Amino acid sequence: MTSTDESRRLTVGRAVDWDFAATAGARLARPAPPSSDYTQHQTITELAESSRRAEVPVRDVTGLVPGGQVPDAMIVDRPHWVRLAAESMRVMTGGGDAPAGFLRGRITGAQTGAVLAFVASGILGQYDPFAGGGGKLLLIYPNIIAVERQLRLLPRDFRLWVCLHEVTHRVQFTANPWLAGYMSSALGVITEEAGEDFGRVMGRLAGYVRERRDGTGADPNSNGIIGLLRVLQSEPQRQALDRLLVLGTLLEGHADHVMDAVGPAVVPTVATIRGRFDERRRRRPAPLQRLIRALLGFEAKISQYTRGKAFVDEVVSRVGMERFNAIWSGPDTLPLPDEIDKPTRWIKRVL
């Protein structure tokens, strides 16, 4: 494929001025809750230590062994996370150094930056497999401080608990390097220009509007921006999106399972943390936040945790973690969309 063909094929990333998105998002990010310099320094130091402490119990519980040296986590504030996330999204979507069109790039850059600014106020941590140098573990310390205060949690336990989740993601990707390539391949399909007939797309869009009006579409993945995206996509793109959604559900559920499986020997107040954190996930946000969450498809994200954890919990309880790990053998052993809610189907097909 020539460079000209490539520039035509990858359209989503090239429509955004990613530098402007990073700058706008960093400026729009809400100020962090007030905390002293001492508290910030102490939190950063403890998170760095916790991210290292989490590695051994995560490996013990999962039975996964990453290759190579484990890099230290990056502990960042909200604007720094926005800049890193914008760069990662540029790589994921095939964006270049300059957008295809100055004005369009600035508009889409501002929109993207606003979304990143919104997400930056709530995200606690993230493993980014597309970051330079083979992936980075990011921990957003102002948000961790805010949540442990809001839920009245023991900071040392909560910080380690968060690290267990995010380190599990790091172990998932570093022990199974094919995962990043699998995600990249699916994203490549999603960002292609579909070239579909306009009438077909509009017909699907009309059907989507009718379903929302009639109250149908109970599947979280049919709502919000994810549901709208599916309507506008070609069939190969929808299949690629389904693959990513299933993989995300598995990864999040597996990480939640590990957090709880490590148990009170490592995190003494794990039961309290889980109870209060799950309650926080279920709590209805303020009207404006609820609107934004709906538009961004956050309910689908929350569903990933609950459905994914239920899948992993049941499979591991039936066959054990060692046999469960067959799931990481390659794309063919990942759960199919109809297996996430019916783990027995996956067990019969794969094991």
Which ranges of the chain does DSSP label H, i.e. alpha helix?
3-9, 18-28, 37-53, 55-62, 78-92, 102-120, 141-150, 155-175, 178-190, 198-214, 224-232, 235-262, 270-282, 287-296, 298-319, 321-324, 343-350
- Work out how many domains the chain is built from and give that number: 1
**CB 70, CB 171: distance < 8 Å:** no
pLDDT tens figures, 275-310: 998 888 776 555 445 444 444 455 555 566 788 999
222 part of a folded domain: no
Domain that residue 94 falls in:
3-194+233-350
pLDDT tens figures, 318-342: 999 999 999 999 999 999 989 999 9
Least confident of 169-178, 203-212, 329-338: 203-212
228 part of a folded domain: no
* Most confidently modeled range among 117-126, 136-145, 285-294: 136-145
244 part of a folded domain: yes
121 part of a folded domain: yes
CA–CA gap between residue 172 and residue 59 (Å, rounded): 10
- Per the model's pLDDT, the better-predicted residue between 72 and 9 turns out to be 72
CA–CA gap between residue 268 and residue 270 (Å, rounded): 6
Per-residue confidence (pLDDT) for residue 188, from 0 to 100: 76
211 part of a folded domain: no
pLDDT tens figures, 32-59: 999 999 999 999 999 999 999 999 999 9
pTM: 0.82
Q: Is the pLDDT of residue 110 over 50?
A: yes
**CB 260, CB 313: distance < 8 Å:** no
214 part of a folded domain: no
239 part of a folded domain: yes
113 part of a folded domain: yes
Strands across the sheet with 136-140, in order?
74-76, 136-140, 125-128
Q: Is the pLDDT of residue 101 over 80?
A: no
